[in-house]
Structure 1
Amino acid sequence: MELLNSELKNKVLDSMMKIIDRERENIINENKKDLEAFDRDDQALYDRLVVNEAKVDGMIQAIKEVKDQEDPVGQLKSEIVLDSGLKVTNRTAPFGTIMIIYESRPDVTIEAAVLAFKANNKIFLKGGKEAYNSNVILEKCWHEALEDNGLSRDWITLLHINRQETQEFLKNPPEQLDLIVPRGGERLIQFVKEHSTCAVLVSGRGNNFLYVSEDADWEKTLKVIVNAKTDKISGCNALDKVLINKHIPNYEAKVKALEEVLKAVNVDILVDSSIKGILSDATEIPEENTWYEEFLALKIVLAEVDSLDQAIEMINKYSGGHSASILTEDKVKAQKFMEQVDSAAVYHNASTRFTDGGQMGVGAELAISTDKLHHRGPLGLKQLVTNKYYVFGDGHVRV
């Protein structure tokens, strides 16, 4: 694969910003076609599909942020001269060709492509059929930006294939794939893992937990829970489960107060058998599988725990390994929670909604990885490279 210099890559991104701004009305109109054809029963998916003026501004801003970042390719990681005289240098290098599979969000067509391109990777974009018109016009914008700067369209390719064709593509890609990132639910992830022949980096489900310790500041707790649950229900960083320590002072009154606050913002509440004894009108959790479920809706589980250890155990058993938060005024408890909960992001006295590239200082993101190799958390520009060793000798042989 040809290594492009930083100046040329940035020229492409400059062109892309101008083209999107020029085409914003057409982009929004094409998106309206997708919205009109969409079944609004899935509100979370519908929210992800919408492209308006603010979304177009966000696309331009995402490109600008990536353009302004240092080129991640060729960065020196280590350098050593061995006793043998060999000079060993380790530098960052592109993956090669990346594929991303995603639903609904047309802005991923911008963010994934800009990150892959700046990191000198080719990318195949497999968007959902519900965003067909939106994605097609965004691909045209990319191709214009590439060709205006003397580059092939092949750097960024939108795939127009169905499920069966996707399966065949994964098994027998037309060229070598080096990394696949499925952004979606368990079924999509399993589908990709089953059929792909290269590395798969999972952008997993949310199913995020929050633990309320017995010494939590209740005012902070209510504010954080409401934000984490309602700020954006379609976000993979939205809150799904709340575990409440039963030793909180005025426990029953606080549980009732939490119910009142959540009902005021139209959140449906499921409870375990213990909380059911306090909130008699609430619906009890129907089955254990509910504990594994990512809701992506105005729905939340409230459950009782006896201790920090029990909370940690439950989170590590049921959560998606995405984000988890503890509300406590005890820094020792917070540290134990944050060290022992096995999630990509752990929080002390803060909403899970901050698990996002832009909020965490990464900038635009390809996905939120819940894998441990090669990176966990927001996949930004610096995470879309691998590494390569450069070894310099002078007729060296190993004896």
Structure 2
Amino acid sequence: MSLNISQRNSVLQKMAILVDQYRETIIKENIKDMEAYAGEDLAMRDRLKVDQSKIDGMIAALRQLASQEDPIGVERFRFTHDNGMQVYNKTASFGTVLIIYESRPDVTIEAAGIAFKSGNKILLKGGKESLNSNLEIVKLWHQALSDYDIPADWVEYLNYNRNETQAFLEKPTQKVDLIVPRGGERLIAFVKEHATCPVIVSGRGNNFVYVHNEADKALALENIINGKTNKISACNAVDKVLIDTNLPNKKDFVQELITNLTNHNVEILGDKHVSKFNDVKPIPDEDIWQEEFLDYKIVLGETENTPEAISKINTYSGGHSAVIITKNQEAADTFMAEVDCAAVYHNASTRFTDGFQLGLGGELAISTDKLHQRGPIGLQHLVTNKWYIHGNGQIR
């Protein structure tokens, strides 16, 4: 059974109404999850919390999805064969998409909504820390589906423990065409190890800012502070800063950056050059350049030039996002061409690596793989393709 675009849009519109109508119930269930969470992970706690603002975001995402064009059946290619056959390539749904995620109840709305709009059945496996919130939202999905006489199995919640999840990944008890893990490196590694069908990896951040020797220093300060402190739980947050050795008045810039970061309660670690400043701890070893923090923590270091900065980023970053701050267009072009990340920026914040911000109207995930889509995966990317060939008796 497939759903036409009118059915899919009707369910999404109904979900927006229901989420608004039951916002207090969702928040009440989320409070249970928040009170039960005993961990000290600030990023996890931030992602887990549902407040009025997050509810507003869920509703906006659903309404926007309902207003977008159907991603299914879009013609990508056409060809008339010498023998008269008419050949078309069109987008098609995957079939069934399993989304495995940690802590974020809004994924139960936004990621599921994108997958549903793309014509897929949805299997949701959320973390135990957000179980009450997730189950309440799934109830609303089922109500919205029921209102249009659509079977509830179009959105199904898998309330599995770790062993049950592993068993399902290794030998699914129902059809699964694609798996999208949303969470930390351990979750992603777990899914990749055990999954027996394609996986889109939403990888780690560990994003870099390179302050070139021709940087606008005020712009650099604002960019780094925004990237680090705007939302520490986001995969597009900044973790590492490389400062060109030849930056004019470098010492004053570094001191001002340290002061600003300290005022935002950010723990600062530095290489052998930057650790000489007050309020900066020396890095324990080089491995820290590879670490994603998701916390009020940052590493500052010096670099000799643009090629060295590019090399360091390509060695240690998660392949997510990287920025160059410079007035030199040629240096920016070189950096953006040679840095191996899904999103590269010139004088703008890594915090824009987000489906909504980059014009996709939301995202299922931010992929650091190069197949089949890199960076934010929006509605138009969560499709495969299918060939349609029309003939009148041709044989080969």
Q: What is the TM-score with the length of structure 1 in the denominator?
A: 0.98
Q: Deviations over 1:78-129 (max 9, x none)?
A: 1110112111100000011111111111000001111111111011111110
AA in 2 matched with 1:52:
D
Aligned to 1:24: 23
Say if 1:64 and 1:281 are closer, same or farther in 2 by CA, change over 3 A: closer
Partner of 1:8: 7
Equivalent residue, structure 2, for 1:379: 377
Deviation at 1:40, TM superposition (A): 5.1
Q: How many angstroms apart in 1 are the aligned matches of 2:310 and 2:115? A: 36
Q: Answer yes or no: is 1:112 the counterpart of 2:114.
A: no
Per-residue CA deviation, residues 330-367 of structure 1 (Å, 9 max, x unaligned), is 01110111111011110000110000111111112111
Choose 75-84 or 322-331, whichever is displaced more: 75-84
- Partner residue in 2 for 1:391: 389
Give the whole-Å Cα distance in 2 for the aligned partners of 1:19 and 1:351.
35
Shift in Å at residue 288 of structure 1? 2.2
Per-residue deviation, residues 105-160 of structure 1 (Å, max 9, x unmatched):
10000011111111110111111100010000000000000011010111111110
Q: 4+ residue stretches of structure 1 with deviation over 2 A? A: none
Structure 2 residue identity aligned to 1:67: A
Give the partner amino acid of 2:207. N
Distance, in Å, in 1 between the alignment partners of 2:233 and 2:365 is 14
Aligned runs of 1:139-218 on 2, under 5 Å? 139-218=138-217
Distance 2:246 2:56 in 1: 48
1:264-303 aligned within 5 A: 264-277=263-276, 279=277, 281-303=279-301
Aligned to 2:36: 37
> Do residues 236 (structure 1) and 232 (structure 2) align?
no
Deviation at 1:258, TM superposition (A): 1.1
CA distance in 2, matches of 1:354, 1:261: 21
**Cα distance, 1:280 vs. partner?**
5.1
Report what 1:252 is aligned to.
251
Deviation at 1:206? 0.5
SS state at 2:273 partner: helix
**Which amino acid is the alignment partner of residue 168 of structure 1?**
A
8 Å CA contact 2:268, 2:279 repeated in 1: no
| Counterpart Cα distance in 2 of 1:105 and 1:65 | 20
The aligned amino acid for 1:32 is I
Matched residue type, 1:132: L
Aligned to 1:368: 366
Partner of 1:305: 303
Distance in 2 of aligned mates of 1:173 and 1:123: 14
Give the secondary-structure state (helix, strand or coil) at the position aligned to 1:95: coil
User: Matched residues, percent identical?
Assistant: 56
For residue 72 of structure 1, what is the aligned residue in structure 2? 71
Give yes or no for the alignment of 1:88 onto 2:81.
no
In structure 1, C-alpha distance between the alignment counterparts of 2:151 and 2:76, rounded to whole Å? 31
The alpha carbon displacement at 1:193 in A equals: 1.2
Q: For residues 224-252 of structure 1, what are the alpha-carbon distances to aligned partners after superposition, in whole Å with 9 as ceiling and x for unaligned?
A: 00000000000000000000001011112
Name the structure 1 match of 2:356.
Answer: 358
Output the amino acid matched with 1:142: W
For 1:299 and 1:201, the matched residues in 2 are separated by 28
What letter matches 1:383 in structure 2? H
The runs of 5 or more residues in structure 2 that have no matched partner are none
Structure 1 residue 223 displacement after superposition: 0.5
- Report the TM-score when normalising by structure 2: 0.98
Query: Partner residue of 2:58?
Result: 59
Q: Distance in 1 between matches of 2:185 and 2:33?
A: 25
Match of residue 321 from structure 1:
319
Q: Which amino acid in 2 is paired with 1:239?
A: V
The alpha carbon displacement at 1:162 in A equals 0.7
In structure 1, distance between residues paired with 2:99 and 2:282 = 38
